[in-house]
A and B are shown apart, each in its own frame.
Chain A
Amino acid sequence: AQSVTQLGSHVSVSEGALVLLRCNYSSSVPPYLFWYVQYPNQGLQLLLKYTSAATLVKGINGFEAEFKKSETSFHLTKPSAHMSDAAEYFCAVRGSGGYQKVTFGTGTKLQVIP
Chain B
Amino acid sequence: ETGVTQTPRHLVMGMTNKKSLKCEQHLGHNAMYWYKQSAKKPLELMFVYSLEERVENNSVPSRFSPECPNSSHLFLHLHTLQPEDSALYLCASSQDSNQYTGELFFGEGSRLTVL
A residues near B (Cβ < 8 Å) are 32, 34, 36, 41-46, 49, 51, 90, 92, 94, 96-102, 104-107
Which chain B residues lie closer than 8 Å to A46 at the CB level?
103-105
Which chain B residues lie closer than 8 Å to A100 at the CB level?
96, 102
Contact: A107 with B106, CB < 8 Å? no
Which residues B28-67 have CB closer than 8 A to chain A? 31, 42-43, 45, 48, 50, 55-56
A interface footprint on B89-108 (CB within 8 Å = 1, 0 otherwise): 01010001110011111111
Partner pick for B43 among A42, A51, A98, A104, CB 8 A cutoff: A104
- With A and B bound together, what is the CA distance between A43 and B101 in angstroms? 20
Partner pick for A107 among B42, B97, B101, B108, CB 8 A cutoff: B42
Interface size class of B (residues with CB under 8 A): 20 to 34
Which chain B residues lie closer than 8 Å to A102 at the CB level?
45, 102, 104
Contact: A44 with B106, CB < 8 Å? yes
- Give the shortest distance, in Å, between B97 (CB) and chain A (any CB): 6
- With A and B bound together, what is the CA distance between A71 and B43 in angstroms? 25
Residue among A41, A44, A49, A100 facing the most chain B CB atoms (10 A cut-off) = A44
Partner pick for A97 among B48, B50, B98, CB 8 A cutoff: B98
Residue among A43, A90, A92, A100 facing the most chain B CB atoms (10 A cut-off) = A43
Contact: A101 with B56, CB < 8 Å? yes
